Structure 1
Amino acid sequence: MTRSGFCGFKLIVVFASAVVISTLLAFAPSGAAPPSPVKDIAVWNIPAFDALPDDENGRLARYGRTIIAATYAHIGPAAVNPAARYAGNNLACTNCHLRGGLKKFALPLVTASADYPAYSARTNASISIFDRVNQCLMRSMNGRPMAEQDRPMQAILAYLRVLSTNIPVGGTIIGAGAGAMPELDRAADPGRGAAIYARTCADCHRPDGSGVRRNVALPEMGYAVPPLWGQDSFNTGAGTARLITLANFVHDNMPNGTSWVAPTLVPEDAWDVAAFVLSQPRPQLAGIDRDFPNLLLKPVDAGYPPYADSFSLEQHRYGPFAPIRAEITRLKEVRGEVPNPNIR
């Protein structure tokens, strides 16, 4: 398929729209209302950062790009300035948001600034893009929140604003998120995933999941290949600590160099290897049991209690998820909401 020129783009948009519509229909509950109309799809039109004016905004945006690429060096736990040590591990934002947030189905950041303010089910409140960045710092980076006026935060926000320059508020893009491959009708199998990890992942991420440091003696240099578990990895509250997100990310992006256009792993293998990774130890986020004031809005694959339904922790971690969704739908009709008992 051609991927250049207006005609090629038009074909891709039509195809992607059809996929979105068919997916919504396939997963809609029986008797549910028709899906909402598909939003207008915005063209990826990213300004050239190196061509931005040499003014405060241009300098901030370029600094933000640097922080996204080398987070560990600027705000990591071994950063030169102790007051700027906001991240609790030596990962980089680009370890999850590949190519600085510019790769399709690799958790792109292209619409991030345009998407907020937005309602957050996790907090039951409207949050800003500043709040969302701090959530990443505390969860994916296992760190602490940064003040909005701090220069690194201002730089990150400037970078995100530039990425969203040509995205309308509420607009969507082809390639958002991590993808949506078919789910298994069984539980994902960490044991089977261990063999897949050894065969396809261990050469880069190491057999013990510790990744590859650029310089063992200088942690502020970060990783050439990020760790997938252990104390320098993302904590239990991160988005990638949920199976659906991680499995789709793996399917569309791993091993390194893979593209959603030609995935290396079949879906079954991606589900199982993601389950293996998430079965390994990682930092625990304090207070995580107070996430989601209305438990009926909690993602079905959130791997920590409490839950509104009666399904086990094991099934919430590894699936299958269809029975959980059906029960949540029933509870919404009967009860409307289920308050989190840990929030007083």
Structure 2
Amino acid sequence: MTRHVFYRLTVIVGLAVALACSTQRAFAQTDAAPPLPKTDVVVWHVPAFDALPDDENGRLARYGRSIIEATYAHIGPDVANPAARYAGNNLACANCHLRAGLKKFGLPLIGASADYPAYSARSGTVSSLFDRVNQCLKRSMNGQPMREEDRPMQAILAYLDVLSTNIPADATITGAGAGAMPELDRAADPSRGAIVYARNCADCHRRDGLGVRRNAVLPEMGYAVPPLWGPDSFNDGAGTARLITLANFVHDNMPNGTSWIAPTLNPDDAWDVAAFVLSQPRPQLAGIERDFPDLLLKPVDAPYPPYADRFPVEQHRFGPFAPIRADIARLKETRGEIPNPNIR
């Protein structure tokens, strides 16, 4: 992917402290030389989008920012042009990638362009950034893939390229992902989580979890507060449908306005309320049983079978995860890999 480089008028998006959560990359080694040490990017220098040149690349990147911030208005299921209806719900990418991908531990998009191509355990192939965006459309947006030449896709890729302007290809960024709380030594408790939800979340997301629309009769205007479950939410194949991701996201970012530096919820509450949210109904992704050709590479909290280990679905959904990890480590040592039986 060509890097669109802009040298002037950068803004410092944030400062990090010692806690680091690195974006993982998986590239096959072509020789036996040891990998070079990676640069740890603590301060994010992001070009000022409104100061980008008024040329095709600048306009495309700003259009991409708009799609990330208001996905429903550009490619949502109710936009006027049926051919542009790639998203299957009225969420925005920024509902998960907070501040349009600029918030530390809010699933940031900084560095995404520098991270790809990368090996995807879910598909068993090397994926491009284009492939990764389409996976988000298919899962988090419960929609359908775009072609690489489609202008909205080109705009999203241009936006991501600008975010990575000052991120070296061999770097890791401080603040990637959603954080990494200590895990529970018990199963997360959806019943207890319901109490946490009523106390901390229901005022914004509603007691029914269906969010708050900007206009009840114009769904293409999206949500002031996104739904957490129900037909217009992310499906069961999304990354946020996994407990570890969602619990850490909640801990570091919720209620809205919370910073990872000073969380509102304690870890137990975050684990349990995430379990409650994920216990609620949501769209089902067809063909999800074919994810992860090598089952030993499947995340321990993937909430759907098949699995390589002996643990039930309920434990994969809510934990505890340490026994599962131990079993996976043993199987990797003795078996090497376990093919997914649903892939022929």
1:311 maps to what in 2? Answer: 311
1:40 maps to what in 2? Answer: 39
Q: Distance in 2 between matches of 1:100 and 1:112?
A: 13
Q: Distance in 1 between matches of 2:279 and 2:38?
A: 37
Residues 18-41 of structure 1: CA distance to partner in whole angstroms, max 9, x if unpaired?
Answer: xx79xxxxxxxxxxxxxx997321
Give the 5 Å matches for 1:270-289: 270-289=270-289
| 2:140/2:238 contact within 8 Å kept | yes
Q: Secondary structure, in 3 states, of the residue corresponding to 1:172?
A: strand
Residues 89-135 of structure 1: CA distance to partner in whole angstroms, max 9, x if unpaired?
Answer: 00000000000000000000001100000000001110000000000
Q: Distance in 2 between matches of 1:103 and 1:170?
A: 21
Question: Which stretch of structure 1 is more off in the superposition, 235-244 or 163-172?
Answer: 163-172
1:253 maps to what in 2? Answer: 253
Residues 189-247 of structure 1: CA distance to partner in whole angstroms, max 9, x if unpaired?
Answer: 00000000000000000000000000000000000000000000000000000000000
Q: Distance in 2 between matches of 1:333 and 1:261?
A: 38
Match of 1:16 among 7, 19, 23: 19
Counterpart code for 2:78: A
Counterpart code for 1:298: K
- TM-score (norm: length of structure 1): 0.90
Cα shift at 1:340: 0.2
Q: Distance in 2 between matches of 1:295 and 1:84?
A: 35
Q: Does 1:101 align with 2:101?
A: yes
Q: Distance in 2 between matches of 1:209 and 1:137?
A: 22
Cα shift at 1:301: 0.1
Say how many residue pairs are matched: 319
Residues 287-326 of structure 1: CA distance to partner in whole angstroms, max 9, x if unpaired?
Answer: 0000000000000000000000000000000000000000
Q: CA 1:342/1:276 → structure 2, altered by over 3 Å: closer, same or farther? A: same
Q: Distance in 1 between matches of 2:262 and 2:19?
A: 15
| 2:39/2:170 contact within 8 Å kept | no
Over 4 Å off, 4+ runs: none
Counterpart code for 2:340: N
1:148 maps to what in 2? Answer: 148
Q: Secondary structure, in 3 states, of the residue corresponding to 1:41?
A: strand
| 1:74/1:80 contact within 8 Å kept | no
2:117 maps to what in 1? Answer: 117
Counterpart code for 1:276: F
Counterpart code for 2:313: L
| 2:211/2:223 contact within 8 Å kept | yes
Aligned-residue Cα RMSD (Å) equals: 1.6
Q: Secondary structure, in 3 states, of the residue corresponding to 1:148?
A: coil
Q: Distance in 2 between matches of 1:311 and 1:238?
A: 22
Q: Distance in 1 between matches of 2:76 and 2:37?
A: 40
1:51 maps to what in 2? Answer: 51
Q: Distance in 1 between matches of 2:201 and 2:116?
A: 35
Cα shift at 1:174: 1.1
Q: Distance in 1 between matches of 2:78 and 2:66?
A: 17
Q: Distance in 2 between matches of 1:271 and 1:95?
A: 20
2:244 maps to what in 1? Answer: 244
Counterpart code for 2:151: R
Cα shift at 1:171: 1.2
Q: Distance in 1 between matches of 2:19 and 2:268?
A: 23
Cα shift at 1:256: 0.5
1:267 maps to what in 2? Answer: 267
Counterpart code for 2:195: A
Q: Does 1:191 align with 2:191?
A: yes
Q: Distance in 1 between matches of 2:201 and 2:99?
A: 20
Residues 46-91 of structure 1: CA distance to partner in whole angstroms, max 9, x if unpaired?
Answer: 0000110011000000000000000000000001211000000000
Unaligned runs of 5+ in 2: 1-11, 23-34
| 2:210/2:229 contact within 8 Å kept | yes
